[in-house]
Amino acid sequence: MEDKLTTIALLPYSKAEILRELMEAEGIECYLENINLIQGAVASGVKVRIAESKVKKALPILNRMLGKVEVIARQYENSILTPIDFSEFSMKAAIAAFEIAHKLSSKLVLYHVIPQPEYYTLPYTDFISYDSGLFVQSESREKESQEKYKVFLNELVAEIGQEKWKDIEMEFIMRMGREEDDILTYTEEHPPRLIVMASKGRHTIHDDLMGTLTADIIARAKVPVLTIPEKMKRFRFDSLKKVVYATNFDEKDFVAVDKLMSLLRPFQTKVYCLHVGQSDEVTWDLAKLEGMREVLKRRHMHTDLECVYLQGKDLLQKLETYIKKHEIDILSLTTHKRNMITRIFNPSIAKEMLFHTEIPLLVFHA
């Protein structure tokens, strides 16, 4: 019986060649497909194919090369997490988080971190120096936070409405520590479907967005993060109609779009997969965009989906113009596109344009 070939990896050309050498060194015959002899590789990647009977022997080699270890992935909990600092900005985020949780029938988790007092040690000794008053200060901070939470919660319920508030499960968590580390640790232990954050809080000390807590969470969280801009008025998710996903033709885009569609399922939305071409290879970009459209249409047959190509050197200007012209409600992208996200959050550009603070930003982790 003929031993059929199967694809075990889709890699850049250079990595595919390395993998082939490793496989053949172990006596596994390996074939590469999708090789463009002129360019040396193709954007979609090179297929590494082997006989089906060799897959079991080949997988450990593949995992060693990619630096992978076998882990049991944690399942998302059906919850929406919102870090709050009791500011008016986090109130906007909490309202948005409630509306999403209500629409998705998820639990709402309000999370507050009390700044931890600093303890000092003398160099090269085990001696710890601290002020005993810090314990009193800690208790005082905790009591103050509890009082602020009561006020915050009353305002939130008043905004939402008493009857609607009773429709979902809610949990409030208050811990003492460092905001970024505590929030990330919690999401590792209890991965929510989504983190909803204000893009600027009361304790912000940096002017540029990449210096804020929100940007740090975006960069490190392994779950989707939705930011609610400081300058945006209350956003009614019942009126959510148009979402842009900015693509750079990475294979992880398909995973991100699948997650996006899952979150948007209860909403009647149109999704635009948009690419801003900055090279002269327009024909090639259009071909890749059409291929992406065909795949997404098969996966999401009942979604109103459109793929859009824009050409221009100024990524921000092109996105801003498109968002305003078409009245886009949310901009979405993936963190692995360092070139894209770095340019969007470049401090000098952000201060000049500030367009990304006008609509929510939904970010996925590759």
Question: How many independent structural domains does the chain possess?
Answer: 3
Examine the domain organization and report whether 132 and 160 are in the same domain.
yes
Examine the domain organization and report whether 283 and 342 are in the same domain.
yes
Tokens of 55: 């897959």
Strand ordering across the sheet containing 5-11: 5-11, 46-51, 31-33
Tell whether 72 is covered by a domain.
no
Rounded to two decimals, the pTM is 0.70
Tokens of 163: 């009857």
Examine the domain organization and report whether 109 and 191 are in the same domain.
yes
Question: In one letter, which amino acid is 234?
Answer: R
Q: Domain of 246?
A: 240-364
Look up the CATH number of the domain holding residue 252: 3.40.50.620
Kindly give the interhelix angle for 179-189 and 213-220, rounded to the nearest 10 degrees: 30
Examine the domain organization and report whether 44 and 87 are in the same domain.
no
- From first to last of its 366 residues, what are the pLDDT tens digits of the chain? 567 788 888 777 777 888 888 888 888 998 888 655 433 334 446 788 888 888 888 888 887 776 654 434 457 899 999 999 999 889 999 999 999 999 999 999 999 998 876 655 455 445 555 555 655 666 788 889 999 999 999 999 999 999 999 999 999 999 888 888 899 999 999 999 999 998 764 444 444 443 368 878 887 888 999 988 877 777 777 788 999 999 888 778 888 899 999 899 888 899 999 998 877 778 888 888 888 899 898 888 888 999 999 998 888 888 889 999 999 999 998 876 454 555 555 443 333 333 455 788 898 886
Examine the domain organization and report whether 47 and 124 are in the same domain.
no
CB 307 within 8 A of CB 294: no
What is the separation, in whole angstroms, between the first and last Cα of the chain? 40
According to DSSP, the β-strands at 46-51 and 31-33 are antiparallel
Tokens of 171: 């949990």
